[in-house]
Amino acid sequence: MSINHSSATAPATPDEPMAIVDEISSWLAVPGDEVDRSLAGERERVVAAVTALNTAAAGSPGPAADRARYAQQLLLSRIYRTVMQIADHPTAEGSVVLHEVTRLLENATMKAEDAHLTPGLIEEAPEEPKLFVSWLKGLIREHRAFKHPYYTEFINRVARREDLRTYVIQESVVDGRFDDLLALMQVGTSGAGKMEIANNYWDEMGNGDPEAVHTHLFNKIYEVFDVRDEDLEAAMTTADLHSGNIAVLLCRYRHLYPEAVGFLGTAEWLAPDRFRNVVRAWERLGLPEVGITYHRLHITVDSQHAAGWFRNVVAPSARSPHMQRGIVRGALWRVNSSARHLDERLELALSDGRRTPETVG
């Protein structure tokens, strides 16, 4: 496969954010060394184009910034597929230039997410580990993402078959690879924390039963809705892509381990209540039972894992200001990004003219 070289001599403009996305995407199935050789002398142009894309994505709200944010998160998502899947062809995973591009996108994504943090909130965390865990749970419980109307009202009472199909596609960026996220984040851990993550991972593996592996069960939902690989990326919004990207970002780097602890722990704590609403919708619509096994299972399993996570991963980790700050940051990233994501989902669900906000309020 050949590399697509942009004919542009200047960075991509905010009005043409997909130009650099298409160019870099063309590298991803090319061996990393070949990518670097081919781009000799063009690194500065590529870096400038990605920097321009990030600048546009961070711009004032509007169509141009929206297009840039989508392009930014789409590109990062495509790059992450090269490190989260075993390919049957060469990939650019080892490319030095691709690594630099990835870090530019990741740093911009982290900066944007940090901008949603309430100033001074992280510093309010108590130092004593038990008090810290209690404070953190209270923080999450009081957040509007905890009982979001997208789940409690729309999914529970209003959602139709096509809504659940869209929901499953959008959730695939996290639920469809939760086992791999756990595998990534446990590297370098020890003691009770490592055992809790391992326990969680073994549950994801169906406790040794291939038919009970959670990703296998999740894929059964795809069969109910006839979701194919080619349907996935096309259905993703910026918020969908972002949700999956920050999960991978936090789990793949050791220096972000504290953030991963907060992020995944919060995700597991939120899941049971959310999934109860999905099960109610499934039953209300009379959909095939085989497709709801994943969600039924996680109502119980995630409740147990959330408790174990806070006891065996969060509390032992929360013994230094550095770890505490990271855990709170990761937890807030999860609830803040989830709230924005669910706001968007609800708005899109209500925009088809067949429902009004009063329907779910």
CB 129 within 8 A of CB 319: yes
pLDDT at 214: 87
- Between CA 213 and CA 265 the distance in angstroms is 20
Q: Where are the alpha helices (DSSP H) in the chain?
A: 18-25, 32-38, 43-57, 63-84, 96-114, 129-141, 149, 161-175, 178-185, 191-204, 214-225, 229-235, 238-252, 257-285, 293-309, 315-317, 321-349
Determine if the pTM surpasses 0.85: yes
pLDDT of residue 303: 80
User: What is the band of 235 on the pLDDT scale with cuts at 50, 70, 90?
Assistant: confident
Question: 95 pLDDT band (50/70/90 cuts)?
Answer: very high
- In b/e form, how buried is each residue of 117-135, taking b as 16+ CB within 10 angstroms? eeeeebeebeeebeebbeb
The tens digit of pLDDT for each residue in 300-359 reads 887 888 889 999 999 998 889 999 999 999 999 999 999 999 999 999 888 865 454 455
Q: Which helix (H) or strand (E) covers residue 237, if one does?
A: none
Amino acid (one-letter) located at 71: A
- Pairwise CA distance, residues 297 & 32, whole Å: 41
Nearest to 218 by CA among 181, 270, 172, 186: 172
Between 85 and 102, name the one with better pLDDT. 102
145: helix, strand or coil: coil
Phi, psi of 157 (to 5 degrees): -110, -25
Contact 186, 257 (CB under 8 A): no
Q: What is the pLDDT of residue 305?
A: 83
Q: What is each CA distance from 252 to 156, 194, 218, 301, in whole angstroms?
A: 34, 16, 23, 24
Can you read off the two tokens belonging to residue 86?
């075993």
Q: Are 335 and 145 in contact (CB under 8 A)?
A: yes
